[in-house]
Amino acid sequence: MSTLDKETPGPIGTRILPAGVEWDAVRVPHAVALTVLDKLGSAPGAILVDPQEQALYFFVPPRATDEWELANVRLLGVATFVVVPPPERIAPPGPYWLAEPGRQPWPLADAEALHAVLAEHVASTSGTGTP
């Protein structure tokens, strides 16, 4: 196992985990994420809130985002890392879960549904009609 595959302890009880192994992460600005959550419905998967960055992270299967190109959305896959709180942390300080995800493997979002909702949002806010 290389150092890019290992978890590392982080501050205030967090862990720094590699993306692109068990999941990829999709970082979405907080205001956009609220719209996304509303449209995704009852099964958005595990969702991480980062109050410092004012962003939410959705988790999808590895490599599911390889072809995505969306404005204001950061895709985290191989060779990137995410600071993850303990599964029971559902409030600040630091990053926390929107709802307790349980132990790994976490429930993942439907990547196609997430992409469709994000693309629709990008198109509606860009004024061009296309993402």
Whether 2 maps to a domain, the answer reads no
Residues 68 and 115: beta-carbon distance below 8 Å:
yes
Decide which of 129 and 56 is more confident. 56
Whether 11 maps to a domain, the answer reads no
Q: Which domain holds residue 99?
A: 19-125
**Residue 125, strand partner residues:** none
Q: Is 130 a residue whose pLDDT tops 70?
A: no
Per-residue pLDDT of 2-53, as tens digits, reads 444 567 888 888 999 999 999 999 999 999 998 888 898 877 899 999 999 9
Whether 13 maps to a domain, the answer reads no
Q: Is 68 a residue whose pLDDT tops 70?
A: yes
Q: Is 30 helix (H, G, I), strand (E, B) or coil?
A: helix
Between CA 36 and CA 40 the distance in angstroms is 6
Whether 36 maps to a domain, the answer reads yes
Q: How many domains does the chain contain in total?
A: 1
Whether 7 maps to a domain, the answer reads no
